[in-house]
């Protein structure tokens, strides 16, 4: 048992604790009990559960044992507990790191193993498609890529749907991915009331007459015009929480950029030959092929902490059909503007070759526009 295990057990245990339908605190979920036992040995744990929850609502860096390691993908300026739930950072870590990498299903014993597995289904689907792709002939590989992109795009464009709509959308691809595997990425909206959707942060939940999203530090005003009522209907489905964190939230800026690139493609006829979303099962986000045969590779990154993000940026894969002349990391505008020095910190801390640039969404759209314009002019002259 090491320090990271203790941290992970605490997150998992708290998630299980808050997910209990009956609000009955005792006995504590096994993972939470183990985490408190480990923390208790440091001599710094308050005596009552209520006091522990109070403490865990403070920034982790203020109470986590000083010499103990905190995982890199958790921002310790956040606490773990907020209003009888995990915080935004805690949920992000739970779904993106623990569930997303299946750490919990193999390393930790789960009170709700099924819950973790349900939220791991997208990763499992991706792994299966990757395995199938390895042995498939080229035509088969293209079909697999297309179905993957179709499913992922559908999840972002339809956070609410019905089984009938899924059946209709995926009937033709059912031999590659069974329809049940797609509907398994959703859960039932069992409360039979109007659902609410924010086009920035996804399905919302109501509490005390207000609508709350999963990223309150980013998107907290749900009276604005990006919020939409979705009337309830029989058989209505909603993306599972894991899909919300792993696919929907990163997907919103990806599709926004794609839409802007498609506009450029229409305006500068023939300059952009092809736009490919998530090429070869998500090797990067968007591939742009220009009329002169060159290609650009783009990955969209939407992280709060630019220094932490910088340390994860690497050269984009560029072998075979993924080859590109220029690569770009693109930061959503509102993220880049969240802090005056965001882009500077990112640039200063990233270690990338000259062929890869970091731009904001607007800067990148401008760059593509100029390039497309230049290619159109050249074409007219020729």
CB of 221 to Zn ion, least distance (A): 8
CB of 261 to Zn ion, least distance (A): 24
CB of 43 to Zn ion, least distance (A): 42
339-347: Cβ within 8 A, 24+ apart: 339/306, 342/306, 343/306, 345/306, 345/307, 345/310, 346/306, 346/307, 346/309, 346/310
Measured from the CB atom, the residue of 70 and 255 that comes closer to Zn ion is 255
Measured from the CB atom, the residue of 59 and 206 that comes closer to Zn ion is 206
CB of 210 to Zn ion, least distance (A): 12
304 and 75 Cβ atoms separated by less than 8 Å = yes
CB of 211 to Zn ion, least distance (A): 8
Measured from the CB atom, the residue of 249 and 264 that comes closer to Zn ion is 249
CB of 169 to Zn ion, least distance (A): 25
CB of 255 to Zn ion, least distance (A): 16
Encode burial over 227-257: b for 16+ CB neighbours within 10 A, e otherwise.
Answer: beebeeeeebbbbbbbbbbbbbbbbbbbbbb
Footprint on this chain of Zn ion (rule: CB under 5 A): 198, 200-201, 213, 219
Measured from the CB atom, the residue of 204 and 297 that comes closer to Zn ion is 204
Three-class secondary structure of residue 2 per DSSP: coil
Measured from the CB atom, the residue of 214 and 375 that comes closer to Zn ion is 214
Residue indicated by tokens 């984009």:
316
Q: How far apart are CA 227 and CA 368, in angstroms?
A: 30
Measured from the CB atom, the residue of 144 and 198 that comes closer to Zn ion is 198
Q: Which of 12, 222, 28 is CA-nearest to residue 103?
A: 12
Q: How far apart are CA 232 and CA 7, in angstroms?
A: 39
246 and 117 Cβ atoms separated by less than 8 Å = no
Measured from the CB atom, the residue of 221 and 274 that comes closer to Zn ion is 221
For 285, the token pair is 């986000």
The strand ranges marked E within the chain are: 160-162, 186-188, 195-198, 202-207, 210-212, 227-230, 236-239, 272-277, 286-290, 295-300, 326-331, 356-360
């Amino acid at each position: 048992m090491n320090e990271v295990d203790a941290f992970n057990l605490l997150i998992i245990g708290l998630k299980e604790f808050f997910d209990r339908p009956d609000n009955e605190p005792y006995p504590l979920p096994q993972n939470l009990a183990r985490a408190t036992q480990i923390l208790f040995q440091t001599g710094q744990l308050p005596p009552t559960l209520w006091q522990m929850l109070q403490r865990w609502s403070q920034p982790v860096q203020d109470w986590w044992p000083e010499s103990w390691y905190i995982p890199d993908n958790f921002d310790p300026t956040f606490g773990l507990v907020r209003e009888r739930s995990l915080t935004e950072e805690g949920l992000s870590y739970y779904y993106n790191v623990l569930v997303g990498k299946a750490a919990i299903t193999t390393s930790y014993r789960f009170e709700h193993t099924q819950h973790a597995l349900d939220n791991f289904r997208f990763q499992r689907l991706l792994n299966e498609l990757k395995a199938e792709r390895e042995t498939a002939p080229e035509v088969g590989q293209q079909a697999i890529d297309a179905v993957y992109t179709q499913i992922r795009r559908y999840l972002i464009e339809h956070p609410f749907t019905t089984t009938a709509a899924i059946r209709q959308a995926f009937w033709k691809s059912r031999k590659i991915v069974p329809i049940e595997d797609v509907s398994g990425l959703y859960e039932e909206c069992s409360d039979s009331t109007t659902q609410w959707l924010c086009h920035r942060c996804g399905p919302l939940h109501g509490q005390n007459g207000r609508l709350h999203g999963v990223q309150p530090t980013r998107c907290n005003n749900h009276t604005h015009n990006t919020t939409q009522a979705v009337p309830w209907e029989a058989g209505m489905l909603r993306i599972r929480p894991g899909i919300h964190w792993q696919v929907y939230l990163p997907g919103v800026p990806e599709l926004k950029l794609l839409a802007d690139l498609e506009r450029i493609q229409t305006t500068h006829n023939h300059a952009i030959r092809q736009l490919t979303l998530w090429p070869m099962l998500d090797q990067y986000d968007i591939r742009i092929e220009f009329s002169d045969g060159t290609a650009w590779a783009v990955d969209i990154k939407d992280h709060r902490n630019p220094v932490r993000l910088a340390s994860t940026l690497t050269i984009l894969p560029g072998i075979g059909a993924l080859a590109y002349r220029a690569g770009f990391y693109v930061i959503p505008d509102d993220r880049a503007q969240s802090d005056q020095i965001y882009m500077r910190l990112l640039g200063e801390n990233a270690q990338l070759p000259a062929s890869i640039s970091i731009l904001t969404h607007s800067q990148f759209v401008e760059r593509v526009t100029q390039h497309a314009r230049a290619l159109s002019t050249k074409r007219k002259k020729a």
